[in-house]
Copies of this chain bind each other. A is one copy, B any other.
Amino acid sequence: MNNSHNIFEKNIHDEIIFLLSDIGNFFNKKGDLIAKKAGLTTLQWIILLNIARDPNLPVVKDNDMVHPGVLASEIAENRGVSRANISPIISTLIKNKYITQKDHSTDRRRKTLHISQKGMNALKSIQEERRFLNDRLFDSISKNNQSILVQSLQHLLNTVSGFPHEEKTDSV
């Protein structure tokens, strides 16, 4: 085997990053297939989950106490994408009756988003299939390692996204 051109060292950090990138890509593609059965694209589905406040989503902020419903800008912030990216998808979801839009009570720039019964039904049908696949996926990873996984991933996401100013972080 000729490895003379291989200047790279084995490095566990790089390895983890590449694994995360590949797995993320895979789930985004696989999500496509499942969501498509309910007539949604992956993004539409994720946005719908945000509006329905799925408790398993990594959430930056939950303003349910401040106002009922969800703002497009809050979804964009949670997803780490631009508002411009969310906007046309919201329009489609409204047009297809998965969600409704209301005027904010005091701030007329804002429009709050609310999931409809049809949207809820779509999420439920997707959820069933997902739950089945996911549970099988984690079958052979121990409970203990699953909880280490969650902690480490939350820590990584917090570090790379919203909180670059954090000086002290808990070790995991």
Give chain A's interface residues, CB within 8 Å of chain B: 1-3, 5-31, 52-58, 64-65, 68, 79-80, 114-115, 120, 124, 127, 130-131, 134-135, 137-138, 140-142, 145-157, 159-161, 169-172
**Contacting pair B148 A16 (CB below 8 A):** no
Who on chain B is nearest to A54 by CB? Answer: B8
Q: Which residues of B contact A15 (CB under 8 A)?
A: 56, 58, 150
Who on chain B is nearest to A154 by CB? Answer: B19
**Contacting pair B12 A147 (CB below 8 A):** yes
Q: Which residues of B contact A152 (CB under 8 A)?
A: 141, 145-146, 148-149
Write the nearest CB–CB distance from A143 to chain B, whole angstroms: 8
* Copies of this chain per assembly: 2
Known pairs A24-B27, A140-B169, A141-B155; list 10 more (Cβ under 8 Å). A2-B64, A5-B120, A8-B127, A14-B56, A17-B27, A17-B130, A18-B57, A137-B156, A140-B170, A145-B148
With known contacts A55-B10, A135-B13, A147-B12, A19–B153 Cβ distance under 8 A: yes
By DSSP majority rule, is chain A's interface helix, strand, loop, or mixed?
A: helix
A7 to B15, CA, bound (A): 37
**Contacting pair A11 B56 (CB below 8 A):** yes
The 25 sampled A-B contact pairs (Cβ below 8 Å) are: A2-B64, A2-B68, A5-B52, A5-B114, A8-B53, A8-B56, A11-B131, A11-B134, A12-B147, A12-B150, A14-B131, A15-B150, A19-B58, A19-B157, A20-B23, A22-B79, A23-B156, A24-B25, A25-B28, A25-B80, A26-B157, A26-B160, A30-B160, A137-B159, A148-B148
